[in-house]
Amino acid sequence: MDKLLIQGGQSLRGEVAISGAKNAALPILCASLLSAEPLNLTNVPHLNDIATMLRLLGEMGVGVTMEGVDGLALSGAGLNNPVASYERVKTMRASILVLGPLLARCGEAKVSLPGGCAIGARPVDQHIKGLQAMGAEVKVEHGYVHARAQRLKGARICTDMVTVTGTENLMMAACLAEGETIIENAAREPEVVDLANCLVSMGARISGAGTDVIRIQGVDKLHGATHAIMPDRIETGTYLCAAAATGGDVRLTRTSAAYLDAVVDKLMDAGCDIVIERDAIRLKAPQRLKAVSLRTAPYPAFPTDMQAQFMAINCVAEGVATIRETIFENRFMHANELMRLGADIQIEGSNAIVRGVPALEGAAVMATDLRASASLIIAGLVAQGETLIDRIYHLDRGYERIEEKLARLGASVKRVH
Ligand code: UD1
């Protein structure tokens, strides 16, 4: 199993390009299931989660052709097997995103339940409830969701909580339903908007994406389209945090600060100097950061996917920070690993109290999930001496060529087999 060996103590300096967004690319790949015509995508990140989704789509009969460095052509013409097996779904919860499009296009779908996940229970009841409101007959048997509907019917759906993939699944299903669907309490995440933009260019009639009420007028069929995946705001935020924690000065290109207000505000509160350009962001860090408290919540509030990285920067900041996680019930697993590096963190239910220490010390640690891995890298870059991070397969799910990008910024990071 690969590990990452970090020699801490270097400030990150220089320029690096940000990749396409994993959480936008995954639902957009599933949009190819909605049409028999080709969907051409650019700025698709090279990630294990993307490879897993392409394998899953391939098993269903979707044709996949790589084009150039970051392009893909997907063809749903041969879609003939509306089944997502446990073997695929268990490795990636986002596989549930095939459920809505399969049901809408094939009239049936058999998709494994995602099961437990390290960061919390993460049920899919809202996805199922929404499809049932659209007239689907849904049975959950032997660990699979079996859904059937001659043709889905437009409905008014109000989800019990804000769910990102739930909103995406229902929005995709509604594109081919008969009549109007209204999704209330919809997720406002930029990735939902990117998916909506792609669907609209495929002929869908969607309004309100980016607000908490999305209206979809169903159409008989969708056609082919070309779409560029938006930049990854979480990858962007992660490199900003790595630069901030190491007293660095970096410029991130091919990205946008447009969806990062909550993160940029916190970094400025921590004492960083940030310059926003049209397609780039530059951050200059102070000698030592100030502690910043935060509370995670659905977009446009502070993203749960940046919580672990901010815990890492607070570990070495001046002062005490309180971090409150409101989205997932078990998303502080990185705290114990950060403490192995000398951090002072106290967990009280959904709050973490982080008391900044002057320095961390390298140690062997274990990654527990994707963003937890990122927080350990940030801590390892700051720590004195060597940090060895085990189980970095989590990292490869969501960060493209991370050791290469960090090395370009001057970090001493090596993958060891
Ligand atoms: C997506 C993101 C993930 C991010 C999360 C929250 C993708 C592929 N993943 O995950 O990176 O951390 O949003 O911003 O885009 N819930 C239910 N029932 C449901 C659906 C959700 O109880 O049917 C709960 C979840 O357990 C969680 C909360 O709602 O507590 C939000 O989850 P959700 O927004 O659905 O997360 P994902 O879409 O899985």
- Ligand 1, atom 39, lies closest to the CA of 165
**What letters, b where the CB count within 10 A reaches 16 and e where it falls short, cover 192-208?**
bbbbbbbbbebbbebee
Q: Output the CA torsion 214→216→222→226 (10° steps).
A: -20
User: What confidence category does residue 11 fall into, taking pLDDT thresholds of 50, 70 and 90?
Assistant: very high
Residue 120 has pLDDT above 90, yes or no: no
Tell me the pTM.
Answer: 0.97
User: Which bin fits 205, alpha (ψ -120 to 50), beta or left (φ > 0)?
Assistant: beta
- Ligand 1, atom 32, lies closest to the CA of 163
What is the predicted pLDDT for the residue at 146? Answer: 96
Q: Exposed, middle or buried: residue 160 (CB in 10 Å: 0-12, 13-18, 19+)?
A: exposed
What is the predicted pLDDT for the residue at 114? Answer: 83
Beta strand spans in 127-279 (E): 137-141, 144-148, 156-158, 180-184, 205-207, 213-217, 225-228, 249-253, 273-276
What is the predicted pLDDT for the residue at 90? Answer: 87
In a mutational test of the pocket of ligand 1, which residue from 49, 145, 161, 191 has the highest number of ligand atoms less than 8 Å from its CB?
Answer: 161
Catalytic residue, chosen from 117, 158, 175, 272, is 117
Q: Is the CB of 259 under 6 A from ligand 1?
A: no
Residue 321 has pLDDT above 90, yes or no: yes
Note the pLDDT tens digit of each residue in 352-405.
999 999 999 999 999 988 999 999 999 999 999 999 999 998 899 999 999 999
User: What confidence category does residue 119 fall into, taking pLDDT thresholds of 50, 70 and 90?
Assistant: low
| 117 counts as catalytic | yes
Residue 117 has pLDDT above 80, yes or no: no
Q: Is the CB of 328 under 6 A from ligand 1?
A: yes
Distance separating alpha carbons of residues 336 and 116, to the nearest angstrom: 21
Note the pLDDT tens digit of each residue in 164-206.
999 999 999 999 999 999 999 999 999 999 999 999 999 999 9
Q: What percent of the chain has pLDDT over 90?
A: 92
- Ligand 1, atom 3, lies closest to the CA of 305
Residue 91 has pLDDT above 90, yes or no: no
Q: Is the CB of 116 under 6 A from ligand 1?
A: no
Residue 161 has pLDDT above 90, yes or no: yes
Q: Is the CB of 304 under 6 A from ligand 1?
A: yes
